[in-house]
Amino acid sequence: MYPPIEPYDHGHLDTGDGHLVYWEVSGNPEGKPALVVHGGPGSGCTPNARRGFDPERYRIIQFDQRNCGRSLPHASDPDADLTTNTTHHLIADMERLREHLGVDRWLLYGGSWGSTLMLAYAEAHPERVSEMVICAVTMTRRSEIDWLYRGVGRFFPEQWRRFRDGVPEAERDGDLLAAYARLMSDPDPDVRAKAAHDWMAWEDAVISLEVNGKPGSYSDRPPAALLAFVRICSHYFSNAAWLDEGVLLRDAHRLAGIPAVLIHGRFDLGCPLENAWELAEAWPGARLVVVDDSGHTGSDTMRKAVPAALDGFAGEG
């Protein structure tokens, strides 16, 4: 990874519908434009995410997706309205940011939820994407959501039962994610805090067997950031990200001509390798790199694979 750097420019982009989306730019102002698309949804951008880029060759653009990070209003505020926070709104924000910064085409880099948003954006605007580097591929299909929040429970039955029992008894055999979304909108702060804790305990369990799966990997974040993360996650996943089932894989032909490197940990329980393999099969321009010692949270090997992939695209026009 490259040494830490600080942004040379930042601001808030007014979306025109009540949101102010935070953005920042670092690296070389004359370098190759690249957009970092963070995961979660709701995690916000981090300084570490830009360290995969050579700062002499890249103009590195980051943004906090709606209602998280430094974007406003913040989802930790129960009065913040999430009805205008959907995948399609985020795609429009990315286009608005591209135009605001005067970028013609940019490389997209991200992973996990970020891979879904990157794919949705690239399939909507393929002419604006030069290359893509994707870690921990997920397309947020209903089958993938069900696997992450129910199927993986076969490996962690005790922890999954606690996750299930975090919602009212009448809803435990139904849509758990919709139940959590309702709890995260409850006017009682104690109800929201408990729901967020229960959700994050499950997220921690899923990655607990990984190299980087230390206790509190997800839940060890400031209270406001934790509340926003869970509220936005439950909002998105209970609505299957407002995407037709399987549409990103079905429309992968729209990515023709966009070179990509898909980097995926073989032991990623939350986002099984099958996701990346299926996408690589449907996308002729994609090269799949399987990291044998990594799960969802990465490893030393993955930390080397990311800059290698980005360096490989740095000289491309």
Contact 97, 226 (CB under 8 A): no
| CA dist., res. 74 & res. 63, Å (int) | 14
Q: How far is CA 241 from CA 133, 192, 226, in A?
A: 21, 22, 20
CB atoms within 10 A of CB 72: 16
Active-site residue identified among 234, 264, 296, 299: 296
Catalytic site includes residue 293: no
Residue 251 annotated among the catalytic residues of the structure:
no
Catalytic residue among 26, 71, 76, 112: 112
Which entry of 64, 198, 204, 268 is annotated as an active-site residue? 268
Q: Are 268 and 143 in contact (CB under 8 A)?
A: no
Task: Tell me whether residue 268 is one of the annotated catalytic residues.
Answer: yes
Catalytic residues: 112, 268, 296
